Structure formats: C-alpha cells, structure tokens
Amino acid sequence: MSAAVGGAAVLSDAVKDAIRTEVGKYPQPRSALLIALHLVQDEIGYVPLEAQRQVAGLLGIRPIEVREVVSFYPMYHEHPVGRRNIQVCVNIACALAGARQVVRALEERLGVAAGEGTSDGAYSLEEVQCLGSCGTAVCVQVNNEPYIEGVRSDGIDDLLRKVC
C-alpha cells in the first residue's frame, strides 16, 4: 500500500520546477503554498501526505503547516476522489433553479450519495457552495475544469456525456 501510494505521490520534476517558479514571485516562499497544492492535485488527483512533505521541503516550512492548509480549504482532497469529481452548487440561486433535483438525479444514476464516490473510482459527487455563476444556474464543475452551466435534472444524460 505505502509503496503504491508513495510511488504515485512522488512529485514529478515538472511540478517541482513549476513550484520553484511560483516561489520566485513572492517575498516569502510560503506564499506559493496554495498554488503549489493546486499543481500537485492537478497531477496526482489529490494531495497525499508524502506530497505534502515534499511541498513543505520545497517551501522551507514544516509538513504540519502544509497539512493545516490542505484541511482548511475545501478544494484540496487529502484522499483520492473519483477521476471525475462532479461538484454541484447547492447555494441559493442554484437551489431556486432545482439543484436539489440535479443532485438527486446524479445520486440515482451513479448509485452513490453526495459526498461519496463510485467503487470503481470513476466518479464522485460533491455539493459545493456558490460558484459565481448564479445567472446560469444550476452550475456544475467537474474537477477544476470550466463550468457546465444551466444544468437541469432532466438533462443528466447530457451532463454525464459531457463529463466523460
């Protein structure tokens, strides 16, 4: 287990270089932490402990200082999520446009509850707060890709086709 996780967790040279470039933009290296964690998550899909340790090393801070940031911010995942992590906004404008029905339809189609992932690791489903797309509710974001807007519960097939 640890070997596999550790293997996947080793940061590539490309990510390390990208983090070093970011560090150069700030008077204090630590300021590059949030963007560094995004770079890690983009590559690995989540931010495992071993990767946190390596990021800490690159920024000259303690691993616990990285962990505290990973756990504070909703966008970072410390454990694997589905390869396609479907995030549905359930805040007010999206709720008024039927976000609850969208979540329910996705739960039925994927066979999971919001907050869970399918057993094959392909999909996970999350409820999120306002995405800043209230005029085109219901708003859905998959991983950290551009938004899918104007989603309705009767268009879930369409949504899943786009998502794959």
Partner 1 sequence: MAVERYLLPPEGSDRRLLAAYRQAGGYAAAARALREMTPEAVVEEVKASGLRGRGGAGFTTGQKWSFMPKPGGPKPSYLACNADESEPGTFKDRQIMERNPHLFLEGLIIAGYAIHARAAYVYIRGEYVTAFRILSKALGEACDAGLLGKGLFGTDREYDIHLMRGAGAYICGEETGMIESAEGRKGQPRKRPPFPAVYGLWGCPTTVNNVETVSHVPAIITRGAAWFKSIGTPTSTGNTLFGVSGHVNRPGVYELPLGTRLREIIETHAGGVRGGRALKAIIPGGVSMPVLSAEQVDVAMDHESLKQVGTLLGTGGIVVMDETTCMVRAALVISRFFRHETCGQCTQCREGTAWLYQLLHRIEAGEGSDVDLKTIESVGGYMEGQTICALSDAAAWAATGFLRRFRPEFEAHVHKRRCPLPESFEA
Q: Is the peptide bond before 103 cis (omega within 30 degrees of 0)?
A: no
Residue 64 interacts with, from partner 1, ligand FES, none (CB under 5-8 Å by kind): none
Residue position matching structure tokens 């967790």: 9
One DSSP character per residue, 46-88 reads S--HHHHHHHHHHHTS-HHHHHHHHHHSTT--SS---SEEEEE
DSSP state of 138: S
Residues 106-145 contacting partner 1, CB under 8 A: 128-137, 141, 144-145
* Smallest gap from residue 27 Cβ to partner 1 (A): 5
Which residue(s) pair with 108 in the sheet? none
Q: Does residue 74 bind partner 1 (CB under 8 A)?
A: yes
* Smallest gap from residue 17 Cβ to ligand FES (A): 35
* Smallest gap from residue 75 Cβ to ligand FES (A): 15
Task: Provide the mask over 62-91, with x wherever binding to ligand FES is found by CB under 6 A and - wherever it is not.
Answer: ---------------------------x-x
